[in-house]
Amino acid sequence: MPAEIYWRRRLLALAVVIAAVWGVLQLTGGDDKPATKPTATATVASTAPTVAPVDGVVKVSLVTASRACDPEKIRITPTVQPGQHTKTAVTIGLVVSSTETTACTLSPTDADLVAVISANKTAIWDSTVCKTSLLTNPVAISPRWASLVDTTWSGRGSGGKCAKKEGYATPGTYAIQAGTLGGEPGKATFTLTTAPKPKDTATPTDKPSGKKSDKPKN
């Protein structure tokens, strides 16, 4: 048999075997499965700083500015803590905010703050009569934030131009209204009570029984 015919038959037989094996693999699906590519997962760490609250209060540094606030854009909301008494100074809180979009500073001279404390719609204390302001120090205000300022009212009336000899307010319910000229005023009510009398802490002394002591007989 010529070599050419021999190799041609061998190649043909080999092709038949390869075709048969390929057909079997297609029918059975094969044992090998394509490897699945691992899914890449990326963990993005947050770069935003976390502010830990202290006693439930988060301290925030407010932006301050030397520019004076516009009194017409100031809002003041007074607040008075309960449990305060007559014949003494009354602590008043003023929540001060602004509708301006930039930081500003509200000074007592620029504030033109007017405050009136009344009872049964009768003025008891009026800042315009006393020629004084509840604000004593400049207040820094940041946009979208409010500043709390603590101040005091003497607890006395404003008759007689707020002289020290003016009498104290009596126990009862009062209203305070405060605001800058042209600004948005705020109002709050509070109650003053009589201060409790201090308890007598003196140590009782032994009283004599009045009985004669028995003396030994001689």
Number of other CB atoms surrounding residue 97 within 10 Å: 19
* pTM higher than 0.75: no
Tokens found for residue 199: 């308890």
Q: Has residue 42 been placed in a domain?
A: no
How many distinct structural domains can be found in the chain? 1
DSSP notation for 157-171: --HHHH-TTSPBPPS
Q: What is the CATH number of the domain that holds 83?
A: 2.60.40.10
Q: Has residue 46 been placed in a domain?
A: no
Q: Has residue 169 been placed in a domain?
A: yes
* pLDDT digits 0-9 by tens, 32-83: 444 444 443 333 333 333 344 444 444 445 555 678 999 999 999 999 999 9
DSSP notation for 168-201: BPPSEEEEEEEEETTSB-EEEEEEEEPPPPPP--
Distance CA 91, CA 153 (A): 6
Q: Has residue 100 been placed in a domain?
A: yes
Q: Which domain holds residue 152?
A: 71-193
Q: Has residue 39 been placed in a domain?
A: no
* pLDDT digits 0-9 by tens, 152-203: 999 999 876 677 778 899 999 999 999 998 888 999 999 999 988 877 666 5
Q: Has residue 61 been placed in a domain?
A: no
Task: Return the pLDDT at 109.
Answer: 77
Q: Has residue 126 been placed in a domain?
A: yes
Q: Has residue 38 been placed in a domain?
A: no
Contact 180, 111 (CB under 8 A): yes
